[in-house]
Amino acid sequence: MDQPADAPASTDLPADAPASTDLPADASASTDLPADASASTDLPADASASTPTFAAFHRMWQDLLPIGRHPRTGGYRRSAWTGADLACREWFRAASAAFGLDVETDRNGNLWAWWGRPGPNAFVTGSHLDSVPDGGAYDGPLGVVSALAAVGLLQQAGATPTRPVAVTCFTDEEGARFGVACIGSRLSAGLLAPETARGLRDVDGTTLGEAMSSAGHDPNRLGPDESALRRVGVFVELHVEQGRQLSALGAPLGLATAIWPHGRWRFRFTGEANHAGTTRWEDRRDPMLTYAATVLAARETARADGALATFGRVSVEPNGTNAIASVVDGWLDARAPEQAGLDAVVAELARRAGEAAGRDGTAVEVTGESLTAEVSFPAEPRRRLAALLGASQVGSLPQLPTGAGHDAGILSARVPTAMLFVRNPTGLSHAPSEFAEQADCEAGVLALAAAMADWVTG
Ligand code: GLV
Ligand code: MN
Ligand code: MN
């Protein structure tokens, strides 16, 4: 697989990783907003940027914006099953009710808002509302708000669906609190054992089971959800792009082709706590040194292999300025174009960490915590979307692989899925400054509404 479209240009990817691989020849064709979206999508005639057509989108966006936003950083702290997450869920219930949708919570805590009777062959769209620590406003919420707004556009146009529509909000996509990504969709798809999920712990030692119970959700219900999945005719997830490939191509929207295999590994370095001011160099067993050497090795190893590797989280014991650490836990996030390459990077890094530990008189233990195999999105829903939008005034859409994980990727093991990306002008993501232009968000809503109309009307 080629370089993910969303790896920002400043990463240390090999110089020969082409910036615009996997794209159709006409990827830069005009994708301006339709001046009159009714031509091909049965949408209201005033569906251009900043018109009343999008009032619902902007109202929902503004309502959601303050929830879980940290006053100092401006970033979002919406970890699963925290007060902020529960407030987001309440927001979703109220926003869905405003469109007359019936909201159900499935056994894994995922929310489904139904337009029409829940049943087979549904057009399902949505994303997630939880965030990474100090995440941006768009990663997840853009897909949820756009999905509801698309329902609103069809209702406004007087559409009568002949198949059900569901807007979903998957639980704990980011895995920020319990370490495993896409917990809700993974459980539903049967890709995470319920007993494993219940036992996952956050930094305070609270288990997922306990957190769910406190939030009023029975953790004993967790498990594969065949009846929920049987209803899905297609799942289309709209998401802010997490790179700037679309920007480089001058395209407001794109379609996902694939997701790089990726995962998280905990590297536990153990040494011996001791006095920072009195312990001679030759007497030290400092795990911080081994950790630091491993961080540098991660960059070197991944860079040489065309992969990405990041230590973005660390925990130190006893965490005292004047004490040598006894334990350092560092979490590696690694991603590569292919599974074999990813496995090789992680194995080499474990080897180099062990080598450094031998030199430093420390020990290292490596544990895989969240592993996601490569996803190739199926050709069919993508072909239909590309044809539909290509024939409309939206125009031909670039088709891009991505390095970011998504619920659509997890669900693609079980149901037909597709993803629409909305241009991110800076490429910044998982950060407070994550952004998409209003006109591009509106183009995303129109595209989603067109897809919805195509599947459920006519
Ligand atoms: C999702 O945002 C991921 O980290 O892949
Ligand atoms: Mn994310
Ligand atoms: Mn996301």
3-class SS of residue 186: helix
Residue minimizing CA distance to atom 1 of ligand 1: 405
Is the minimum distance from the CB of 194 to ligand 1 under 6 angstroms? no
CA-to-CA separations, 353 to 46, 54, 266, 371, 407, in angstroms, rounded: 60, 53, 12, 20, 32
List the one residue out of 410, 381, 415, 408 whose CA is nearest residue 227.
Answer: 415
Distance 177 CA to ligand 1 centre (A): 13
Closest atom of ligand 1 to 405 CA is 5
Closest atom of ligand 1 to 430 CA is 2
- Joined together, the tokens standing for residue 234 give 């297609």
Strands (E), 136-226: 165-170
User: What pLDDT was estimated at residue 9?
Assistant: 38
- Joined together, the tokens standing for residue 407 give 């619920």
User: What pLDDT was estimated at residue 252?
Assistant: 97
User: What pLDDT was estimated at residue 35?
Assistant: 30
- Joined together, the tokens standing for residue 230 give 């049987």
User: What pLDDT was estimated at residue 456?
Assistant: 97
CA-to-CA separations, 376 to 39, 188, 435, in angstroms, rounded: 32, 20, 27
125 and 168 Cβ atoms separated by less than 8 Å: yes
Distance 429 CA to ligand 1 centre (A): 10
Distance 389 CA to ligand 2 centre (A): 26
Contacts of 107 (CB under 8 A, 6+ apart): 188, 221, 222, 223, 225, 228
Is the minimum distance from the CB of 75 to ligand 1 under 6 angstroms? no
User: Taking the CB of residue 254, how many other CB atoms lie within 10 A of it?
Assistant: 25
List the one residue out of 185, 192, 180, 157 whose CA is nearest residue 169.
Answer: 185
User: Taking the CB of residue 2, how many other CB atoms lie within 10 A of it?
Assistant: 18
Q: Which ligand is nearest to the CA of 402?
A: 1
Closest atom of ligand 1 to 262 CA is 5
User: What pLDDT was estimated at residue 394?
Assistant: 83
Is the minimum distance from the CB of 34 to ligand 1 under 6 angstroms? no
List the one residue out of 196, 156, 82, 63 whose CA is nearest residue 449.
Answer: 156
Closest atom of ligand 1 to 132 CA is 2
Is the minimum distance from the CB of 404 to ligand 1 under 6 angstroms? yes
Q: Which residue has the tokens 């183009």?
A: 443
Strands (E), 135-231: 165-170
Is the minimum distance from the CB of 7 to ligand 1 under 6 angstroms? no
CA-to-CA separations, 24 to 88, 162, 247, 400, 421, in angstroms, rounded: 38, 33, 16, 10, 16
pLDDT in tens, 99-136: 999 999 999 999 999 999 999 999 999 999 999 999 99
User: What pLDDT was estimated at residue 338?
Assistant: 97
- Residue 300: is it exposed, middle or buried by C-beta count within 10 angstroms (0-12/13-18/19+)? middle
Mean pLDDT of residues grouped by 10 in the chain (458 residues)? 43 30 26 30 43 88 98 98 98 98 98 97 98 98 98 96 98 98 98 98 98 98 98 98 97 98 98 98 98 98 98 98 98 98 98 98 98 97 96 90 98 98 98 97 96 93
Backbone angles phi, psi at 307, to 5 degrees: -115, 180
Looking at 3.40.250.10, 3.40.630.10, 3.40.190.290, 3.50.50.60, the CATH number of the domain 37-260+374-456 comes to 3.40.630.10
240 and 445 Cβ atoms separated by less than 8 Å: no
Q: Is 62 left (phi over 0), alpha (psi -120 to 50) or beta?
A: alpha
Distance 2 CA to ligand 2 centre (A): 21
Which of 128, 142, 174 to probe ligand 1 with, by most ligand atoms within 8 A of CB?
174
Please check whether the domain covering 262-372 is classified as CATH 3.30.70.360.
yes
* DSSP 8-state code for residue 454: H
240 and 422 Cβ atoms separated by less than 8 Å: yes
User: What pLDDT was estimated at residue 51?
Assistant: 61
- Joined together, the tokens standing for residue 357 give 């530990």
Distance 406 CA to ligand 3 centre (A): 6
User: What pLDDT was estimated at residue 41?
Assistant: 35
Is the minimum distance from the CB of 259 to ligand 1 under 6 angstroms? no
- The C-alpha atoms of residue 53 and residue 34 are separated, in whole angstroms, by 13
3-class SS of residue 300: helix
Is the minimum distance from the CB of 405 to ligand 1 under 6 angstroms? yes
Which of 76, 127, 132, 369 to probe ligand 1 with, by most ligand atoms within 8 A of CB?
132
- The C-alpha atoms of residue 244 and residue 116 are separated, in whole angstroms, by 37
List the one residue out of 124, 63, 129 whose CA is nearest residue 98.
Answer: 63
Is the minimum distance from the CB of 243 to ligand 1 under 6 angstroms? no
pLDDT in tens, 241-278: 999 999 999 999 999 999 999 999 999 999 999 999 99
Closest atom of ligand 1 to 139 CA is 2
Closest atom of ligand 1 to 333 CA is 4
Could you give the count of Cα atoms lying within 13 Å of 446 in the half-sphere of its Cβ?
36
Domain ranges of the chain: 37-260+374-456, 262-372
Distance 239 CA to ligand 3 centre (A): 7
Q: Note the Cα 145 to chain centre separation in Å.
A: 15
State the DSSP string of 126-144.
Answer: EEE----TTB-SSTTHHHH
CA-to-CA separations, 355 to 332, 405, 410, in angstroms, rounded: 17, 31, 35
Residue type, 141: P
Which of 129, 142, 428, 430 to probe ligand 1 with, by most ligand atoms within 8 A of CB?
430
